[in-house]
Amino acid sequence: MIARPAGMDDNVPTPRPLPALVNLDYSADERAFRDDVRGWLRANLPPAMRDKVVHYTHLSRDDLTGWHRILADKGWVAPSWPQEWGGTGWNVVQRYVFEEECGYAGAPPLIPFGLTMCASVLLKFGSDAQKQRFLPRIYRGDDFWCQGYSEPNSGSDLASLKTSAVRRGDRYVVNGQKIWTTLAHMADWIFCLVRTDPSLERKQEGISFLLMDMRTPGITVRPLILMDGAHEVNEVFFDNVEVPVENRIHDENKGWTVAKYLLGHERLNTARIGTSKREFEQLKAFAATQFRDGRPLTEDVRFRDKLTRLEIELMALEITNLRFLDQMRGGRAPGAEVSMLKIKGTEIQQMLTELMLEAAGPAAQAIDATDADDAGSAMIAALAPRYCNMRKTTIYAGSNEIQRNIIAKHALGL
């Protein structure tokens, strides 16, 4: 019943509440599920791993696979896979809740190249033999994968890629170069887009999708050091690399179909709302300990204004995401609008690093990470490199300009 102002004529009918167009609340079951996940994370996320994440320490392969294996032992590492391959059978809301709770708790990220990307492709397009060979190893974290899509001059315009694969009997001979290949220096396997027929007029045709063992002779990995000084991405060169034809996924020259399918999966996971919520709380707590003119920064009107704007953006992102989830609950797959999640999610991640840096002030420049003798100082020392590092988020997984083009074309019909 909606309360009416005193004195209102009793004969005026009470306005009926509008029917809810979108349900943005979790149901009682969904809340109970969230509490279970939260409780399990509290008991099972090793504090040392969490500390590394919240203090922005670079994670080693052991850190990344360590958390992967804890989740695999629990049966929670690949929620979206079919249950026969180890999936949890959770619905789309539960999967989202799980991901967000992991981010909120400070769990190390799960590297998506094997679990999310290659596995989705194998599940959709792989033969039974390919599934049997690769999926269990991906599930257990035995193989570490990387993604060989981008090339010099073929990033946004991916279909112009030139790395060639020439068929010789039961092998392809691969020559060319990939670039920006994240964690290739840690990887056991790479999935690649290669050109198998350069004669076809449409550049999207003539591309195939190959899986390559990184130990194959002829593969060379060279580091590219990012502006934060970290080794995260690489160039990968292929010099007469022989790849068995059985490592091709889907038909020859149909790799673009696979590539497009995979890009959709890549973009769904870029909003990272749980992580941003945790970092926002961390930012507020940190700003409260930083003083300007004798007052905590959280009492500075201009800084508070920036904090508030950021919080509103984050809430709006969460609501947008819940709106998509509600659509998916009803069986409707979200379309090009998911690009909004990538744009806003990554802009917020960058804003968080900017405000953390602003809160630390000159101290962020003054502390050398090698001199930091406590976790707080190490975290402050990590802020400037992290600010530089996070510039990447609006570039990778399809730059934000490209996402805007997608929205304009496919969602707004421009």
Ligand X SMILES: Cc1cc2nc3c(=O)[nH]c(=O)nc-3n(C[C@H](O)[C@H](O)[C@H](O)COP(=O)(O)OP(=O)(O)OC[C@H]3O[C@@H](n4cnc5c(N)ncnc54)[C@H](O)[C@@H]3O)c2cc1C
Select the span of 71-79, 179-187, 250-258, 309-317 touching ligand X (CB under 6 A). 179-187
Q: Does 392 bind ligand X (CB under 6 A)?
A: yes
DSSP classification of residue 166:
E
Token representation of residue 256: 């673009």
Q: With both helix axes pointing from N to C terminus, report the angle between 301-329 and 338-360 in degrees, rounded to the nearest 10.
A: 160
Q: How far is the CB of 400 from ligand X (least distance, A)?
A: 7
- 27 Cβ partners below 8 Å, 6+ apart? none
Q: What one-character-per-residue DSSP string does 16-81 give?
A: PPPPPSS--SPPHHHHHHHHHHHHHHHHHS-HHHHHHHHTTPPPPHHHHHHHHHHHHHHT-S-TTS
Q: How far is the CB of 315 from ligand X (least distance, A)?
A: 27
Select the span of 178-186, 252-260, 265-273, 364-372 touching ligand X (CB under 6 A). 178-186
Q: Does 399 bind ligand X (CB under 6 A)?
A: yes
- With CB under 6 A as the rule, give the number of residues binding ligand X: 19
Out of 180, 189, 209, 238, the only residue in the binding site for ligand X (CB under 6 A) is 180
The residues in 361-380 that bind ligand X, with binding defined as CB under 6 A, are none
Residue, CB closest to ligand X: 155
Out of 40, 90, 261, 396, the only residue in the binding site for ligand X (CB under 6 A) is 396
Q: How far is the CB of 34 from ligand X (least distance, A)?
A: 31
What span, in angstroms and rounded, lies between the C-alpha atoms of 212 and 244? 9
Cβ atoms of 140 and 72 within 8 Å: the answer is yes
What span, in angstroms and rounded, lies between the C-alpha atoms of 171 and 154? 25
What span, in angstroms and rounded, lies between the C-alpha atoms of 276 and 104? 8
Q: Does 149 bind ligand X (CB under 6 A)?
A: yes
How many angstroms separate the first and last alpha carbons of the chain?
A: 44
Out of 327, 405, 407, 411, the only residue in the binding site for ligand X (CB under 6 A) is 405
Q: How far lies 199's CA from each of 155, 196, 259, in Å?
A: 21, 9, 20
What span, in angstroms and rounded, lies between the C-alpha atoms of 126 and 247? 10
What span, in angstroms and rounded, lies between the C-alpha atoms of 43 and 101? 13
Q: Does 233 bind ligand X (CB under 6 A)?
A: yes
Select the span of 20-28, 198-206, 306-314, 390-398 touching ligand X (CB under 6 A). 390-398
- Residue closer to ligand X by CB (options 150, 275) is 150
Q: Does 155 bind ligand X (CB under 6 A)?
A: yes
- Residue closer to ligand X by CB (options 175, 399) is 399
Q: Tokens 């809301």 appear where?
A: 93
φ, ψ (nearest 5 deg) of residue 174: -105, 135
φ, ψ (nearest 5 deg) of residue 139: -60, -45
| Catalytic center residues | 266
Q: How far is the CB of 220 from ligand X (least distance, A)?
A: 16
- Residue closer to ligand X by CB (options 150, 346) is 150
Q: Does 395 bind ligand X (CB under 6 A)?
A: yes
Out of 27, 127, 132, 156, the only residue in the binding site for ligand X (CB under 6 A) is 156
What span, in angstroms and rounded, lies between the C-alpha atoms of 322 and 340? 13
Q: Does 150 bind ligand X (CB under 6 A)?
A: yes
Report which of 371, 401, 367, 364 is spatially closest to residue 386, judged by C-alpha positions.
Answer: 364
- Residue closer to ligand X by CB (options 105, 207) is 207
What span, in angstroms and rounded, lies between the C-alpha atoms of 75 and 94? 14
- Residue closer to ligand X by CB (options 98, 191) is 191
Q: How far is the CB of 333 from ligand X (least distance, A)?
A: 23
What span, in angstroms and rounded, lies between the C-alpha atoms of 388 and 368? 16
Q: Does 181 bind ligand X (CB under 6 A)?
A: yes
Out of 163, 182, 208, 321, the only residue in the binding site for ligand X (CB under 6 A) is 182
Q: Does 402 bind ligand X (CB under 6 A)?
A: yes
- Residue closer to ligand X by CB (options 70, 193) is 193
Q: Does 401 bind ligand X (CB under 6 A)?
A: yes
- Residue closer to ligand X by CB (options 216, 399) is 399
- Residue closer to ligand X by CB (options 163, 290) is 163
Residues that bind ligand X (CB under 6 A): 146-150, 155-156, 180-182, 233, 392, 395-396, 398-399, 401-402, 405
